[in-house]
Each structure stands twice: as C-alpha cells, then as structure tokens.
C-alpha cells in the first residue's frame, strides 16, 4: 500500500510521521502549486469549494508519483466537507484512477470506522499505536509553536527570508525526530535562535492583526498566498485564530475540548447556532481579537463557502460594535496575488496610521 493524504499547511509533517511509523510507504503529495490548482479546477464541479479543488489536485499529483491509497476524513459537520471524500472518490474513479480509499468517517457506523482505523494502524499493537500517536501529537504541538514564534520574529528579520530559512531547517529535523525528547530538543534550539531575532522592546509597537476564517484557507500557506509571511515582512504581527491543534480538537471527536464551545458563545448575539465549518467561530474569533486589543482582522473565506458567507453577512456589524476594522478576502481560483497584496497593503497602511494617531493622542 502506497498511501497519500490531503495536505494542509505544515500538518503534513505530523501526518507523514504517524503513517511512516505505522509502517506504511507514504507518498506525500508534492507541495501545492498553480498546476495542482488547475488540475483540481479542471476536474472538480465548478461550484465546489476551493479546498476540495486543491486537495483533488494534490491527490492526482500524488497518484502520478505512485500513490495507490488515499487517507481522508469524512462525514463531519453540516457543511460540504462531509461530502468531499465521496465526491473526490467518484471523480477519480470516472477519470480512471484505480485507488483505494480509507475514509475515517463515523456516519457509516462504528464497525466501518474500526475497519478503517485497523488499516491505518497496520497491524501494530496498542502500545506501539499509543507511542506513534503521542509522537505525532508532540509534532503537532511543535509545528504550532514554531509557527506562532515565527510570526513574532518575522517583523524583526535581519535579512529577507531569515525566519523561513530557520523554519525549513527546523522542519527537516522535526520530520526525522523519532522520540518526544528529540522533538523537545529541536524546539528548544529553535526558541533560542528566534529569541535572538525578536526585539521584545518593540513587540508592543507592532500593528497586530488577527486572521480568522475557514480552517483550510487559514492554515494552508499556498491557498492563502502565504499571508502570514507577507504580513510579517510588512512589519505586522499576524496571529491566527487557531492552529493545527485547535482544528484537531474541533473536528476529531475524541480530542474535542469544551473550551471550543465556550469560546464560540460570544458569537451568539450575532449567529444563534452553528452554520457549519468555521462560520460561527469566525465571529467569535473576531470579537476575541478586538477584546485582546488587536488593530485589525483579516477574514479569509473560500468563494462559495456558505458558513463564511453567513459570517461575512454579520462581520460589518461586529466590526462596528467592537470598533475593529475587518478586511474580508474571498479566495478562489481566479484570485491573483497582485490583487490580494494591494488590498492587504492598503489595509495595513490604514491600520498603521490609525495606530500612530492613537499612540500620539
């Protein structure tokens, strides 16, 4: 079995780690490019959401490299994510790709879920399974911390690309790490290196932006035009509303924490019930950022994503009520880097002027 998976952001390091440790031959999809997107756009239904199109392109590129099995989640949440696996399965079949699917999905019953989990754990005993999952989880936490620290460091880079070079080297080591203590050592080195870059005295003066929206677009660097890096290079501290750990806690029931629902409650005056995806949470996160004193919020929304369309409908009111500027970027295959950059730069200029006035006054 040559297994592949839907990549998003840097989660690939943790996903690959546990698949490899279970003894699978892993064929990672090549990093997403415009080719990946055009393949997805060509074969997916026109109104499918952007993440479906990009991951479809990822699968086809992985199959071209020899993958014969696809691991995917399914049946979660009242948005279209639940249908992804089934839709993509049919598209690939119609295109003549003969691949096996392992869909981790409770909607087809516990028996079916256990059968698929058994395929993933590949005959390993429970002790090994726990060990592998603990290491993968530690890598998830490390990836999140690496990303959070990078966002504080980028505005202070001594040369362009400095932080990205360090991250690249750190990820190479993290990918090879075979124990929790090794992961911790790597993280310690990384923190020390970044501490030399971050100017703590100037951190408070930076314009602070919160990034909210649909999880795939927020976390996948290719899809969001590497927004965190661009903002960092513009001298802005950009924090996400959530990282990979939060997404695991939201979408995988055994990891779900009550904290998620508590945090969402502040959105209730605007959206009374869940509208699927991150819709309601987008509002809650915007309020959270306003309350934490952030200067602005960027809302990332895949074009045709219903939950984010609903959120967008009330964001203007939230923005007024909490006095926080919000820029919504609706992203689809037509969206170009030049347009996104212009809008981001204009937004940052406005926030910088506002902040200067506030500090002076």
User: Considering beta carbons, is residue 87 or 350 the nearer one to ligand SF4?
Assistant: 87
Report residue 59 CA to chain centroid gap: 18
* Positions in 301-340 near ligand SF4 (CB under 6 A): 302, 305-307
Q: Which of 277, 244, 312 is nearest to 50 (CA)?
A: 277
User: Considering beta carbons, is residue 29 or 302 the nearer one to ligand SF4?
Assistant: 302
Select from 6, 29, 57, 277 the one that contacts ligand SF4 (CB under 6 A): 277
Closest distance to ligand SF4 from the beta carbon of 307 (Å)? 5
Report residue 182 CA to chain centroid gap: 25
Closest distance to ligand SF4 from the beta carbon of 49 (Å)? 3
Closest distance to ligand SF4 from the beta carbon of 156 (Å)? 34
In angstroms, the Cα distances linking 249 to 79, 94, 232, 252 are 18, 34, 27, 6
User: Considering beta carbons, is residue 89 or 119 the nearer one to ligand SF4?
Assistant: 89
Closest distance to ligand SF4 from the beta carbon of 109 (Å)? 23
Closest distance to ligand SF4 from the beta carbon of 243 (Å)? 17
Contact 70, 59 (CB under 8 A): yes
| Cβ-proximal residue to ligand SF4, closest one | 277
315's enclosing H/E stretch is helix 306-321
Closest distance to ligand SF4 from the beta carbon of 332 (Å)? 10
Residues contacting residue 191 through CB under 8 Å, at least 6 positions apart: 149
State both tokens at 8.
């998003």
- CB-count exposure of residue 99 (10 Å: 0-12, 13-18, 19+): middle
Select from 49, 56, 67, 331 the one that contacts ligand SF4 (CB under 6 A): 49
User: Considering beta carbons, is residue 80 or 230 the nearer one to ligand SF4?
Assistant: 80
Select from 51, 155, 232, 296 the one that contacts ligand SF4 (CB under 6 A): 51
User: Considering beta carbons, is residue 155 or 307 the nearer one to ligand SF4?
Assistant: 307
User: Considering beta carbons, is residue 41 or 183 the nearer one to ligand SF4?
Assistant: 41
User: Considering beta carbons, is residue 28 or 51 the nearer one to ligand SF4?
Assistant: 51
Question: What is the residue whose two structure tokens read 């996400």?
Answer: 240
Beta bridge partners of 73: 104
* Positions in 58-87 near ligand SF4 (CB under 6 A): 79-81
Kindly write out the interface string for residues 202-241 of this chain, putting x where it contacts ligand SF4 by CB under 6 A and - elsewhere. ------------x-x-------------------------
**Buried b vs exposed e over 151-190: b needs ≥16 C-beta within 10 Å?**
bbbbbbbeeeeebbebbeebbeebeebeeeeebeebbeeb
Contact 73, 103 (CB under 8 A): yes
Closest distance to ligand SF4 from the beta carbon of 78 (Å)? 9
Closest distance to ligand SF4 from the beta carbon of 119 (Å)? 24
User: Considering beta carbons, is residue 206 or 300 the nearer one to ligand SF4?
Assistant: 300
| φ, ψ (nearest 5 deg) of residue 26 | -100, 130
Closest distance to ligand SF4 from the beta carbon of 150 (Å)? 25
Beta bridge partners of 25: 2
Count of other CB atoms within 10 angstroms of residue 347 = 22
User: Considering beta carbons, is residue 167 or 247 the nearer one to ligand SF4?
Assistant: 247
Q: Count of residues binding ligand SF4 (CB under 6 A)?
A: 13
Contact 15, 298 (CB under 8 A): no
What is the rounded distance in angstroms from the CA atom of residue 18 to the CA atom of residue 127? 14
Contact 214, 301 (CB under 8 A): yes
* Positions in 88-127 near ligand SF4 (CB under 6 A): none
The binding site for ligand SF4 (CB under 6 A) comprises 49, 51, 79-81, 214, 216, 276-277, 302, 305-307
């Amino acid at each position: 079995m040559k297994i592949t998976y839907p990549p998003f952001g840097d989660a690939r390091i943790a996903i690959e780690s546990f698949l490899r440790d279970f003894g699978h031959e892993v064929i990672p999809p090549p990093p997403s490019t415009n080719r990946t997107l055009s393949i997805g756009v060509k074969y997916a239904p026109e109104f499918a959401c952007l993440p479906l199109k990009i991951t479809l392109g990822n699968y086809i590129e992985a199959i071209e490299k020899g993958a014969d099995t696809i691991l995917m989640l399914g049946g979660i949440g009242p948005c279209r994510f639940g249908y992804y696996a089934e839709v993509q399965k049919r598209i690939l079949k119609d295109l003549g790709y003969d691949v096996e699917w392992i869909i981790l999905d409770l909607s087809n019953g516990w028996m079916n879920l256990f059968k698929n989990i058994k395929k993933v754990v590949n005959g390993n005993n429970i002790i090994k399974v726990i060990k592998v999952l603990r290491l993968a989880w530690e890598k998830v936490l490390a990836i999140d911390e690496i990303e959070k620290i990078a966002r504080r460091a980028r505005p202070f880079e001594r040369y362009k690309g400095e932080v990205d070079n360090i991250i690249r080297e750190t990820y190479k080591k993290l990918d090879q790490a075979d124990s929790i203590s090794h992961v911790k050592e790597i993280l310690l080195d990384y923190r020390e290196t970044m501490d030399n870059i971050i100017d703590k005295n100037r951190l408070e003066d930076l314009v602070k932006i919160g990034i909210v929206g649909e999880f795939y677009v927020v976390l996948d660097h290719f899809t969001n035009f590497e927004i965190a890096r661009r903002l960092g290079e513009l001298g802005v501290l950009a924090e996400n509303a959530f990282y990979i750990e939060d997404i695991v806690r939201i979408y995988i029931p055994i990891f779900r924490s009550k904290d998620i629902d508590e945090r969402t409650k502040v959105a209730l005056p605007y959206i009374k019930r869940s509208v699927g995806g991150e819709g309601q949470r987008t509002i809650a996160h915007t309020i959270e950022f306003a309350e934490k004193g952030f200067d602005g919020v960027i809302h990332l929304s895949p074009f045709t994503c219903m939950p984010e369309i609903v959120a967008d409908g009330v964001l203007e009111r939230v923005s007024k009520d909490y006095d926080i500027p919000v820029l919504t970027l609706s992203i689809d295959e037509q969206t170009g880097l030049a347009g996104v950059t212009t809008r981001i730069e204009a937004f940052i200029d406005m926030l910088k002027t506002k902040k200067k006035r506030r500090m002076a006054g």
